[in-house]
Structure 1
Amino acid sequence: MPPFAPKAVNGKKRKAIPQEEPLHPKKSKSSPSPPHESIPELEKAISESRKHYNNIVKLQELAFPKNTKAKPSTEAVIALCRVFCRLFASGSFELPKNSGKSEISIVEWLEGRKREYNSCLLAAFSQDGSYMSQAAVIPLAMRLVAAETSAVGESRWRSGLFSQLVRHLIIGGVHSEPARSIFTEEYFTAFDDVRYHTLQILQDILKNDASNNNELLSPVIELLLSLDEPPTEDEDLDSFLSASSKAAKSTLQSVKKQKKMVEQTWLSILGLPLNKKQRKDILRVFVHQIIPWFNRLERLMDFLTDCYDQGGETTLLALAGLFHLMQEKNLDYPSFFEKLYSLLDDGLLHSKHRSRFFRLLDTFMTSTHLPSNLVASFIKRLSRLALYAPPSGVVVVIPWIYNMFKRHPATTFMIHRVSRCAEETEEWETYGAEDPFSMDEQDPMETKAMESSLWELETLQSHYHPNVATLAKIISEQFTKESYNLEDFLDHSYNSLLDVELEKDLKKIPVVEYQIPKTILHGEAGDQNLGALLQQVIAVS
Structure 2
Amino acid sequence: MAAPMDGNTVNVIREKATLCLESRKQINNVVDIISHMDSEKRDVLTACINALLKVFEKFITTEEMCGISGDKELKDKEAEYREWLRQQYTATVACLLDKLTSTDRHIQKLSLRVLMKFVAAEGRHPIRTKSSSRTQLFPESLFVEIMSHFLSSDESTSALLESFQEFLLYDDVRYQTLQFIHKHLQKNSSKATTDVYLTNVFGLLDKCSSLKCRTKSLHFLAMDTAGKMGSSKEHTKLFTSTWLQFLSCKLTPSLYKKVLIIAKDKVMPRLSNPLVLSDFLTESYTMGGVISLLALDGLFLLINKHNLEYPDFYEKLYALLEPAVFHVKYCSRFFHLTDLFLTSTHLPSYLVAAFAKKMSRISLTAPTPVLKAAIIFVCNLLKRHPTCTVLINRPDAPTDLDEDPYLYNEPDPAKCEALKSSLWEIKSLQNHYCPEVVKVATRINQPLHHTEDMLSDFLDVTEEGLIRREIKRCRKTIKTTPVTFVPPKGLFGTKSDRLKGHWLLE
State TM-score, norm by structure 1. Answer: 0.78
Q: C-alpha displacement at 1:349, in angstroms? A: 2.8
Distance 1:497-1:246 versus aligned 2 partners, 3 A rule: same
Unaligned runs of 5+ in 1: 1-34, 420-424, 520-528, 536-541
Provide the C-alpha distance between the structure 2 equivalents of 1:229 and 1:178, rounded to a whole number of angstroms: 18
Please state how far the C-alpha of 1:445 moved relative to its aligned partner: 1.7
Match of 1:32 in 2: none
CA 1:133 to 1:365, structure 2 compared with 1: closer, same or farther past 3 Å?
same
The answer to whether the Cα contact below 8 Å between 1:436 and 1:448 also exists between their aligned partners in 2 is yes
Q: Which of 259, 265, 272 is equivalent to 1:295? A: 272
Query: What is the number of residues matched between the two proteins?
Result: 471
How far off its partner does 1:228 sit?
2.9
Q: Give CA deviations for 1:491-535 in whole Å, capped at 9, x if unaligned.
A: 22322222111101656546989799979xxxxxxxxx9979x99
Q: Is 1:180 aligned with 2:152?
A: no
Residue 194 (1) aligns with residue 173 (2) = yes
**Does residue 159 of structure 1 match 2:141?**
yes
State which of 31, 40, 49 in structure 2 corresponds to 1:77: 49
Match for residue 281 of structure 2? 304
> Shift of residue 224 of structure 1?
2.2
SS at match of 1:363: helix
Contact 1:87 1:93 in 2 (8 A): yes
Separation in structure 2 between the aligned mates of residue 384 and residue 131 of structure 1, nearest angstrom: 54
Q: Which deviations, in whole Å up to 9, do the C-alpha atoms of 1:25-60 show, x marking residues without a partner? A: xxxxxxxxxx9x954554444445545443332332
Q: Does 1:106 align with 2:81?
A: yes
1:300 and 1:508, CA in 2 relative to 1: closer, same or farther beyond 3 A? closer
Paired with 1:340 and 1:416, the residues of 2 have a C-alpha distance of 27
Match of 2:205 in 1: 224
Letter paired with 1:231: C
Give distance in 2, aligned partners of 1:131 and 1:254. 36
Kept after mapping to 2: 8 A contact 1:157/1:197: no
List per-residue Cα deviations over 1:204-252 (Å, max 9, x = no partner). 33233475222112122122222335425222x2x2212xx2222x423
Q: Residue 438 of structure 1 corresponds to which residue in structure 2?
A: 407
TM-score (norm 2): 0.83
Structure whose CA Rg is larger: 1
Q: Tell me, yes or no, if structure 1 residue 477 matches structure 2 residue 452.
A: no
Q: Distance in 1 between matches of 2:98 and 2:156?
A: 12
Measured after TM superposition, the shift of residue 272 of structure 1 is 0.7
Where do residues 447-486 of structure 1 align in structure 2 (5 Å cutoff)?
447-480=416-449, 482-486=451-455
Aligned-pair CA distance for 1:148: 1.1
What is residue 130 of structure 2 aligned with on the other side?
none
How far apart are 1:203 and its partner, in Å?
2.0
Residue in structure 1 matched with residue 129 of structure 2 by the alignment:
none
Q: Stretches of 4+ moved more than 6 A in 1?
A: 510-519, 529-532
The answer as to whether partners of 1:135 and 1:178 remain within 8 angstroms in 2 is no
1:487 match: secondary structure: helix
Q: CA deviation at 1:123?
A: 1.4
Partner of 1:86: 58
User: What residue in structure 2 maps to residue 204 of structure 1?
Assistant: 183
Residue 215 of structure 2 aligns with which residue? 233
Is this contact kept in 2: 1:123–1:130, CA < 8 A?
A: no
**Whole-angstrom CA distance in 2 between matches of 1:215 and 1:176:** 9
Instruction: Please give the residue correspondences for 1:312-461 in structure 2 after superposition, counting only pairs within 5 Å.
Output: 312-418=289-395, 434-461=403-430
Asked whether the equivalents of residues 199 and 261 of structure 1 are also in contact (C-alpha less than 8 Å), the reply is yes
The CA RMSD over aligned residues, in Å, is 3.5
Contact 2:157 2:200 in 1 (8 A): no
Cα distance in 1, alignment partners of residues 32 and 326 from structure 2: 70
Q: 1:169 and 2:150 equivalent?
A: yes
Percent identity, aligned pairs only? 32
Q: CA deviation at 1:294?
A: 0.7
Q: Per the alignment, do residues 269 and 45 of structure 1 end up closer, same or farther by CA in structure 2, a change over 3 Å counting?
A: same
Matched, 1:121 2:103: no
Aligned equivalent of 1:60: 34
- Inter-CA distance 317–177: structure 2 relative to 1 (3 Å threshold): closer
Q: 1:473 to 1:531 in 2, by over 3 A?
A: farther
Does structure 2 conserve the Cα–Cα contact (< 8 Å) formed by 1:435 and 1:452? yes
Deviation at 1:380, TM superposition (A): 0.6
Corresponding residue to 2:224 among 246, 249, 255: 246
**Structure 1 residues 496 and 132, CA, compared in 2 at 3 Å: closer, same or farther?**
closer
Letter in structure 2 aligned against 1:446: K
Alpha-carbon contact 1:134-1:179 (below 8 Å) kept:
yes
1:510 and 1:131 map into 2 onto residues whose CA distance is 59
Q: Residues of 1 paired with 2:48 and 2:370: CA distance?
A: 64
Q: SS state of the match for residue 480, structure 1? A: coil
Cα pair 2:49 2:111 within 8 Å, conserved: no
Deviates more, 1:268-277 or 1:354-363: 354-363
The verdict on how the C-alpha distance between 1:312 and 1:200 changes in structure 2, with shifts beyond 3 A counting, is same
Alignment of 1:279 with 2:256, yes or no, is yes
Closer, same or farther: CA 144–471 of 1 in aligned 2, 3 Å? same
Structure 1 residue 115 displacement after superposition? 1.0
C-alpha distance 44-335 of structure 1, shift in aligned 2 (>3 A): same
SS at match of 1:282: helix
Matched, 1:134 2:108: yes
Matched, 1:148 2:122: yes
1:73 and 1:343, CA in 2 relative to 1: closer, same or farther beyond 3 A? closer
1:65 and 1:72 in contact (8 A); partners too: no
Greater mean deviation of Cα atoms: 506-515 or 338-347:
506-515
Structure 1 distance, partners of 2:33, 2:248, is: 47
8 Å Cα contact 2:156/2:200 also seen in 1: no
